[in-house]
């Protein structure tokens, strides 16, 4: 487990999707995206195109054109043949919700579940975490069974579950997320003032109010884990070693410079207001 003390170490899984592209005969490719929201407004479409543009610019995707097709609720992106197709498709379709959550350790989760030990019976002992870590780990193929059980849990305490996935695709670890005020995470992407990267290190500066909340959270969670989520997955699980009051964080871990650039492009440019899929 990495530590959180001005340096946050993370493991980021960059999933390269199959790209559906058309070549327009001019040495360029066209990517056509469809909004899943049939009632989306022109303003929201234009906002989506702007976020996509900023993400591509941050990622240094090369020369590209982004245009809105409305009505039709589509966005067309044209870019060079030699561009990184997989990363571009992910950049313009990933919703991009970033959240930092407090977590329950295994003992805390046991207190919530009471006498119900079914969850821990489903998480093999060989994967038992150290104190303060995640709830437990299992083989990837067993997550569906555990998810089925999680849907049956009823407690008086708010708790949300999320998985992180190893790079090798063989193991998944379950985190029990602890909501703070009003059931929210500690901070979200909207609390980030700036995000940049230097080689494989991502640098984040929080807005003033968020820096205060984050300092409080780190003080409450010494020697415990903060889970950092991108959309539905935990991408980093640093352990808090000391209170962080500066509001400035460095994220480093087992990812390439390209992956660090991808994360930064998402962090720095907001959440898409609609879900978009590639038109096949």
Three-class DSSP category at 49: helix
How far is the CA of 16 from the CAs of 64, 89, 94, 232, in angstroms? 20, 9, 12, 17
Which of 120-134, 143-157, 160-174 has the lowest average pLDDT?
120-134
- Hey, where are the domains in the chain? 22-95+272-278
Q: In this predicted model, what pLDDT tens digit does every residue of 235-260 receive, in sequence order?
A: 888 888 899 999 998 876 667 888 88
Three-class DSSP category at 133: coil
Closest CA to 8 of 264, 239, 190, 172: 239
User: Distance between CA atoms of 138 and 164, rounded to whole angstroms?
Assistant: 11
| Residue 26 pLDDT level (bands cut at 50, 70, 90) | low
Q: In this predicted model, what pLDDT tens digit does every residue of 71-83 receive, in sequence order?
A: 999 999 999 888 8
Identify the CATH class of 22-95+272-278.
alpha beta
Query: Phi-psi region for residue 183, left (φ > 0), alpha (ψ -120 to 50) or beta?
Result: left
Which DSSP string corresponds to 209-266? HHHHHHHHHHHHTTTSBEEEEETTEEEE-PEE-S---S-EEEEEES--HHHHHHHHHH
Which tokens go with 176? 């029990």
4 Cβ partners below 8 Å, 6+ apart?
A: 218, 226, 238, 239, 240, 241, 244
Q: In this predicted model, what pLDDT tens digit does every residue of 100-121 receive, in sequence order?
A: 999 998 888 888 888 888 888 8
> What pTM was computed for the model?
0.83
């Amino acid at each position: 487990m990495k530590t959180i003390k001005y340096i946050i170490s993370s493991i980021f899984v960059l999933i390269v999707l199959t790209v559906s592209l058309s070549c327009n005969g001019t040495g360029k490719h066209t990517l056509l995206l469809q909004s899943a929201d049939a009632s989306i407004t022109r303003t929201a479409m234009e906002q989506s195109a702007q976020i996509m543009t900023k993400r591509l610019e941050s990622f240094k995707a090369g020369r590209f054109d982004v245009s809105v097709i409305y009505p039709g609720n589509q966005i067309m992106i044209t870019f060079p043949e030699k561009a990184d197709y997989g990363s571009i498709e992910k950049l313009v379709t990933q919703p991009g919700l970033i959240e930092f959550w407090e977590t329950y350790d295994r003992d805390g989760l046991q207190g919530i579940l009471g006498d119900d030990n079914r969850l821990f019976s489903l998480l093999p002992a060989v994967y038992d975490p150290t104190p303060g870590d995640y709830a437990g780990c299992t083989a990837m193929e067993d997550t569906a069974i555990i998810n089925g059980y999680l849907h049956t849990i009823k407690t008086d305490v708010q708790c949300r579950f999320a998985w992180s996935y190893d790079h090798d695709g063989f193991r998944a670890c379950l985190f029990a997320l602890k909501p703070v005020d009003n059931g929210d995470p500690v901070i979200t992407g909207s609390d980030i003032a700036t995000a940049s990267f230097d080689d494989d290190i991502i640098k984040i500066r929080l807005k003033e109010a968020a820096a205060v909340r984050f300092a409080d959270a780190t003080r409450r969670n010494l020697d415990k884990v903060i889970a950092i989520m991108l959309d539905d997955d935990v991408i980093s699980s640093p352990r808090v070693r000391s209170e962080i009051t500066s509001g400035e964080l460095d994220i480093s871990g087992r990812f390439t410079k390209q992956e660090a650039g991808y994360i930064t492009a998402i962090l720095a440019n907001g959440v898409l207001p609609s879900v978009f899929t590639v038109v096949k």
